[in-house]
């Protein structure tokens, strides 16, 4: 019923193509700069220790994690987890490690947008899954005789829930952009990067930022599609 809706592809395809391009940019930048050895031959753990000691982040722990580009900061355990590629002595590794420590710095100072994101993560996770289900269940009920108003109300509830997931992707943008800005400043402040390496760090972080913009674009496109369908059904 909804699979071949041309309206869906009108909303989804541009955002999907943007996401594919963003992923290509990330892989391209990472593959290039992961092959460039850092001038000081510092691996990811070395970079992390230097920055933590000099930036007042000694309370942060560092752990290894499986996977490729699975690096993240866990504010609950105050730990950055680094994948195999990020513990190598490369420019890309420096960028990733510094970025995750940028999140640790945000957490330490109580950065507003990080706290805002944490406050909605639960409802956002619920909304991204249950919201979509409720929307389509509501449309199905609305197509049945005598269930139009009930189905429409359920679909609206689904859209409201899904909006929380959209809000999460939007709030994520300032969090990630700020962490990258902090990362570049920390690396330069501590003399860990040359001019050429700084350009590489910037390329990796800019490419990574595109993936968050793409995620926001995809969620917004899906929300607009839901709203458009509801407006058409209401009419």
Considering the domain boundaries, does residue 1 fall inside one?
no
Q: How many domains does the chain have?
A: 1
Per-residue pLDDT of the chain (235 residues; tens, 9 = 90+): 444 578 888 898 999 999 999 999 999 999 999 999 999 999 999 999 999 999 999 999 999 999 989 999 999 999 999 999 999 999 999 999 999 999 999 999 999 999 999 999 999 999 998 999 999 999 888 887 556 788 889 999 999 999 999 999 999 999 999 999 999 999 999 999 999 999 999 999 999 999 999 999 999 999 999 999 998 876 5
Domain membership of residue 34 as a residue range: 6-234
d(CA 166, CA 170): 6
Contact 212, 173 (CB under 8 A): yes
Q: How much is the pLDDT for 104?
A: 98
With residue 80 as reference, give the H or E element that holds it. strand 79-82
In a domain, 30, yes or no: yes
CB 159 within 8 A of CB 226: yes
> How far is the CA of 119 from the CAs of 104, 124, 185, 207, in angstroms?
17, 10, 27, 27
CA-based radius of gyration for the chain: 21
Q: Is 197 a catalytic residue?
A: no
Is 29 among the domain residues? yes
Degrees to nearest 5, angle at CA 125 with 178 and 138: 130
C-alpha separations of 177 from 64, 81, 109, 174, 201 in Å: 24, 19, 16, 5, 14
Q: Which of 100, 176, 188, 197 is the catalytic position?
A: 100
At residue 1, the pLDDT reads 44
- Does 196 reside within a domain? yes
Q: Cα–Cα distances in Å, from 199 out to 90, 98, 193, 202, 206?
A: 13, 14, 9, 5, 10
Would you tell me how many other CB atoms lie within 10 Å of the CB of residue 18? 17
Order of strands across the sheet that contains 72-74: 61-64, 79-82, 72-74
């Amino acid at each position: 019923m909804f699979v071949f809706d041309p309206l869906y592809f009108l909303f989804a395809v541009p955002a999907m193509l943007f996401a594919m391009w963003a992923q290509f940019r990330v892989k391209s930048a990472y593959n290039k700069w992961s092959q460039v050895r850092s001038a000081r031959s510092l691996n990811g753990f070395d970079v992390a220790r230097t920055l933590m000691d000099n930036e007042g982040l000694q309370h942060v722990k560092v752990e290894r994690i499986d996977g490729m580009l699975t690096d993240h900061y866990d504010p609950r355990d105050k730990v950055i987890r680094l994948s195999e590629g990020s513990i190598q002595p490369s420019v890309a590794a420096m960028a990733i490690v510094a970025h995750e420590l940028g999140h640790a710095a945000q957490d330490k100072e109580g950065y507003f947008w990080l706290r805002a994101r944490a406050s909605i993560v639960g409802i956002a996770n619920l909304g991204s899954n249950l919201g979509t289900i409720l929307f389509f269940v509501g449309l199905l009920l609305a197509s049945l005789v005598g269930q139009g108003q009930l189905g429409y109300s359920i679909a609206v509830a689904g859209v409201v829930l899904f909006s929380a997931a959209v809000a999460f992707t939007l709030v994520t943008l300032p969090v990630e952009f700020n962490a990258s800005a902090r990362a570049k400043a920390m690396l330069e402040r501590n003399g860990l990067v040359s001019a050429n390496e700084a350009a590489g760090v910037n390329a990796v972080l800019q490419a990574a930022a595109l993936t968050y913009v793409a995620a926001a674009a995809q969620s917004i496109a899906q929300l607009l599609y839901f709203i458009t369908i509801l407006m058409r059904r209401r009419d």
